[in-house]
Amino acid sequence: MTERIAGWRCIGCGKVDAPQPCVGVCQDRKVELVLAGDYDALLARTQELESALALIARITPREGEWEASWRALQERARQVLK
């Protein structure tokens, strides 16, 4: 699970600040951050794509039903790719 911390972001320069009690050993390090909303949207999209892919990986059509199954999987893929 991804940990989230509360902080502040400057609307001008974009500086992010999340003050914590300092124990005197702080060192600034360059980090890459994403907005939680952007992360949530990407996570939802990834889960949706994995769900569609799982259908392809786990479903075995009945004898003589390959074409119908293939068309159903294509339709599911079209819905996900919208």
Q: Calculate the CA dihedral of residues 22, 26, 28, 31 and round it to 10 degrees.
A: -70
Q: Provide the number of structural domains found in the chain.
A: 1
Q: How many Å apart are CA 1 and CA 22, to the nearest integer?
A: 25
Containing structural domain, residue 26: 8-81
Give residue-wise pLDDT tens across range 32-48. Answer: 888 889 999 999 999 99
Mean pLDDT of 55-71: 93
Q: How many Å apart are CA 54 and CA 59, to the nearest integer?
A: 8
**pTM to 2 decimal places:** 0.66
- Strand 8-9 and strand 16-17: the pairing is antiparallel
Considering the domain boundaries, does residue 38 fall inside one?
A: yes
